[in-house]
Amino acid sequence: MKTRLIVGLLLSLLILSFGRSAVEANGDPPYNPLQQPSSSSPYGMDLMGPGWQWTFPREEAWPRSDGAIRVDLMDEMFQKSWAAGVRSARIAVLWCLTEPERDRYQWEELDIAFQLARNYGMEIAPQVFYTPDWAALGRDIDASCFDYQIYPRNLPPKNWQDWSDFMGALLRRYGPPGKNQVHQWEIWNEPDLFEFWYIPDDPWNANAPMYAKLVQLAAREIDRYDPQGKVLVGSLSDIYGAKFLQRLLALRGDEDIRGEIDVLTFHVFDEPERKMNAIHEALGDNQFPLWVTETNARLWEETIPRDHVVRFFEALFNNGVSRTFWFKSWTSEWGPGIFTDEGPLWERTDFQPSPFYSTYQNIALRSPAPSSPQVQSPRPKDLVNPQPIFTWRPPSSSASPIAGYKLQVDNSLFRGKPYFHSPELDVWVPAGLTHFLPLQMVGNGSSPSSPPSQLAPPAVSVVHYQPTFALSPGRYYWRVAAVDVEGNVGEYSDPQLIFVSAGQDRVYLPFLERP
């Protein structure tokens, strides 16, 4: 056991040093070949979520939570947003919708949204907020949590353990113990506004300490299930956010959360210099990474000149902001979006780029993504054994070196088409390895598998991958995309239909073809 462990560690170090030397020798940024690279782009967007202003596209537009979800429209939205340069997705997670009754969770729609975002390499920043009625009042009421006039969604829970349990459930499903898709969690939305966070009888004195408690309990669950996970604190409005921040950072003793803050988040609509000055003044001597999780300009039209938008972003970046999330993907009263105005009530239509789309793309899209790999086998309609060997050639073009490949196999269809929204296999295949990978997504969960057996030469003309587990018999589609060292997921190959047999045919060992 100890001998195998030592050999495995030495092999891992060799792999890592090989990957670094190969990349650094070309003057490109170092990366870990065993992990899919993440984009360093500062351009993200509030894309969609079961949120207070918008919801997932559905068959019916009203009520907002009714009707079957439109997977095809969701996929189109993520694909076109990725093509515009969006590299981070802020997706609302409403506690009141996700856990409508204690210990009864509705995961399906979040599962689909998070998977589609990750298909395109977007980093997910869930925004977790809105208390269920049973947790806020200790009883159920006959109302939707979209109805803010009578629903108690802005109240703290009566029993704080309910909040801890919900955060723990989120981490177990989407953090490292589960799908391993999310590693940063934004705690609540605009707690400085009564519409979102209200403490009865003592709002001005208690709302900051009670928010601090919300953060502390969430941070405890994040540390428990994802020690490398990030606690995003604030999501402060640009109305009272700076004043709230000052009171929050002044808390001491058991209420002091300065050590819990991994990233401070806030909103900026219009006048970025003045509002950033207010944030820095409230920060005082405290220093945290700064993200703007909602930004836009209410008076702008969809045809706003590019120079205006560039200066807007520069004002944020020059004041220490490292990541931005444009609010929102749709044009609305808050300002232009990359899609034409549809409002919060969904129409059954596709996502039409607005005139602002090209402006945003010109700023946010740093380099072209790799072209599609050339699929070799299995061929369409092939009958394969339960552990088929997937083979493809590298893409013909890529602006940056290829770090690896994202291989997906799925048997789920929506209206007769595969969208890979619930893949059986979603795996990272490092470009510098011949076969097998150390962390593999299996059945929507993660589990360790054997380390690679050998290193590939820096250039190979054919890539092979064989799953470490058997697929169940049936019909599947598979596709593959190249990912460069900048974290850009390239174009996927066209989905290939295959049939998995019930028996084991002869299995050939993977090999390499040299140019």
Which pLDDT score, from 0 to 100, does residue 205 have? 67
Which pLDDT score, from 0 to 100, does residue 332 have? 84
Which pLDDT score, from 0 to 100, does residue 433 have? 55
Which pLDDT score, from 0 to 100, does residue 10 have? 36
Give the chain's residues under pLDDT 50.
1-29, 50-53, 434-457, 506-515
Which pLDDT score, from 0 to 100, does residue 204 have? 66
Which pLDDT score, from 0 to 100, does residue 30 have? 55
Residue 371 burial (CB < 10 Å; 0-12/13-18/19+)? Answer: middle
Which pLDDT score, from 0 to 100, does residue 57 have? 78
Which pLDDT score, from 0 to 100, does residue 150 have? 86
Which pLDDT score, from 0 to 100, does residue 269 have? 95
**Rounded distance between C-alpha atoms, residue 209 and residue 255, angstroms:** 6
Are 450 and 468 spatial neighbours (Cβ–Cβ below 8 Å)?
yes
Q: Domains in the chain, please, with CATH?
A: 19-34+368-500 (2.60.40.10), 86-364 (3.20.20.80)
Which pLDDT score, from 0 to 100, does residue 333 have? 86
**From the CB of residue 449, how many other CB atoms can be counted at a distance below 10 Å?**
16
Which pLDDT score, from 0 to 100, does residue 54 have? 54
Which pLDDT score, from 0 to 100, does residue 461 have? 85
Instruction: Look at residues 479, 470, 459 and name the one whose alpha carbon lies nearest to residue 500.
Output: 470
